[in-house]
Amino acid sequence: MRQYKNPLAQKIHEIMLPLVGEFMAGGVLKTQSKNIGISEDDIKPEHIPSLAEAIKKGLTLFLGSDVANKVCDQIKMIK
């Protein structure tokens, strides 16, 4: 499993990992972080709500809206 320097990025990756696999979890995290103007290493608590919503949009096509909403909710609970 990929290891991130940023503990928030690691937690987000671990939430997505069982649902979409290693490659896609990393790709979604990287792409959606970039889409909100940061890198995975720069994720801070204040980025979690907008990043969670961006990830939800990215995952809806692959997982459906119900599962993507659950992932979003899990990410928003990260402290």
**Tens digit of each residue's pLDDT, the chain (79 residues):** 899 999 999 999 999 999 999 999 999 999 999 999 999 999 999 999 999 999 999 999 999 999 999 999 999 999 8
Judge whether 48 lies within some domain. yes
Q: What is the pTM of this model?
A: 0.95
Judge whether 59 lies within some domain. yes
Q: Which two tokens stand for residue 7?
A: 């503990």
Judge whether 1 lies within some domain. no
Domains identified in the chain, total number: 1
Q: How far apart are CA 70 and CA 35, in angstroms?
A: 21
Judge whether 31 lies within some domain. yes
Domain containing 53 equals 7-76
Q: Which two tokens stand for residue 18?
A: 């069982």
Calculate the CA dihedral of residues 67, 31, 14, 1 and round it to 10 degrees.
Answer: 130
Q: What pLDDT score was predicted for residue 79?
A: 83
Judge whether 2 lies within some domain. no
Long-range contacts made by residues 24-29, C-beta under 8 angstroms, separation at least 24?
Answer: 24/62, 26/2, 28/55, 28/58, 28/59, 29/55
Q: What pLDDT score was predicted for residue 32?
A: 98
